[in-house]
Amino acid sequence: MKITIDGHQLEVAPGTTILQAARMVGGASVPPTMCYYSPGKLKDCGGKCRCCLVEVSKGSERDPRPMPKLQPSCVTAVQDGMEVKSGTSERAVKARKAVTEFLLINHPLDCPVCDQAGECDLQDLAMNTKDFKSRFVEQKRTFEPEDIGPYIQLHMNRCILCYRCVRLADQLTDGRVHGVVGRGEHAQISTYISNVIDNDFSGNVIDVCPVGALTDKTFRFKSRVWFAKPYDAHRNCTKCKGKTVLWMFGDDVLRVTARKDMYKEVDDFICNECRFDHKDPKDWTIEGPRKITGHSVQSVNNYSEPLKKVEMKVDDLILEGRKSDQKKISMVDVPLDKKDKEEK
């Protein structure tokens, strides 16, 4: 099937969504996503947040009329001859900005104390939205804290109801014990009758949650992510592939997460044993520093390319007088001049 996205023509298999086709094009044509997850990794995701809106200027070869409303690209299948405007559509960009503002109506702006800061999709979305400004001055909704076990911290105030954690539990566990309960403003992620989310793969909800609603209790308030250094590591595990990222500070493993691709989607889900029980570097074969591909604050100080040599062009005279100071500081036992020698 032929599709044109922002002037780029490509051919895709039937059943491909506009979002998947846009990811093949890359660059500014890729719409942002908050609830979508590639179907090969997590099934039935998408269609919830409306971040990925695009303008379909030609429906198909058979019916070339433009679609009157903007379409969520993650759940709209490509039609033969379709023409789509994504990054080039003023309407779509404006609507995405409005969606971002809507998402932030109830999401608290507590990034300074949130463990997800630096790797939060919503934070990145707001920061990447040109001239973003929230006009919401009313009271945000709040929820009573709920304890869902020793490993996962649920902070419902931050949830954007993307349903990813629900889909993950459906896919990886036999009996899901949490879900979205209530409707409208009262909709919330909960175990309803206080329960513990406890199964071998429950920790993966932390990795799929795009915001700080589900975070790792064993990493809570230990460090900002941009101070930790990520390393690819693996171990022989009988429950999962054991391929992880160790977030280290010096020789300490602060937390263990699954590896994510350029769209922040997990490559292979990992078990709780790898995630929570192996915080000793000796338990792991460390492959090397992880290449950071995102543009968030996480990439600060994580250089994946050699840095340019910095040359300081200063007049020699500027250092005049400082050279003796330098020598004094670095070679304290060596007398600087004759007078010094005599005093010693």
Q: Is 52 an interacting residue with respect to ligand FES (CB under 6 A)?
A: yes
Rounded to a whole number of angstroms, the minimum distance from the CB of residue 114 to ligand SF4 is 13
Query: By the 8 A CB rule, do 248 and 281 touch?
Result: yes
Question: Which candidate, 276, 271, 200, 201, places its Cα nearest to that of 242?
Answer: 271
Residue type, position 5, single letter: I
User: Is residue 258 part of the contact set for ligand SF4 (CB under 6 A)?
Assistant: no
State the pairing for strand pair 152-154/71-72.
unpaired
If one counts every other C-beta atom within 10 angstroms of the C-beta of residue 108, the result is: 16
Q: Which is nearer to ligand SF4, 13 or 113 (CB)?
A: 113
In the 8-state DSSP scheme, what is residue 260? B
| DSSP character string of 295-307 | -SGGGTT---SPP
> Is the CB of 81 or the CB of 149 nearer to ligand SF4?
149
Q: Does 72 bind ligand FES (CB under 6 A)?
A: yes
Q: How far apart are CA 1 and CA 261, in angstroms?
A: 27
Q: 189 or 233: whose CB is closer to ligand SF4?
A: 189
Instruction: Provide the 8-state DSSP code for 319.
Output: G
- Amino acid identity, residue 57? S
- Characterise 80 by phi-psi region: left (phi > 0), alpha (psi -120 to 50), beta (else): beta
Query: Residue 259 Cβ, how far from ligand SF4 at the closest point, in Å?
Result: 18
For position 34 contacting ligand FES by CB under 6 A, the verdict is yes
Which of the listed partners (ligand SF4, ligand FES, none) does 45 bind, with a CB threshold of 5 to 8 Å by partner kind? Answer: none
Task: Decide which of ligand SF4, ligand FES, none touches 163; Cβ closer than 5 to 8 Å per partner kind.
Answer: ligand SF4
Q: Which of 208, 246, 248, 274 binds ligand SF4 (CB under 6 A)?
A: 208
SS3 214: strand
Q: Which is nearer to ligand SF4, 45 or 228 (CB)?
A: 45
- Residue 49 or 148: which CB sits closer to ligand FES? 49
Q: Considering the complex, state which of residue 19 and residue 49 has its C-beta at the smaller distance from ligand SF4.
A: 49
Residues near ligand SF4 (CB under 6 A): 159-165, 189, 208-211, 213-214
Residues near ligand FES (CB under 6 A): 33-36, 46-52, 72, 74
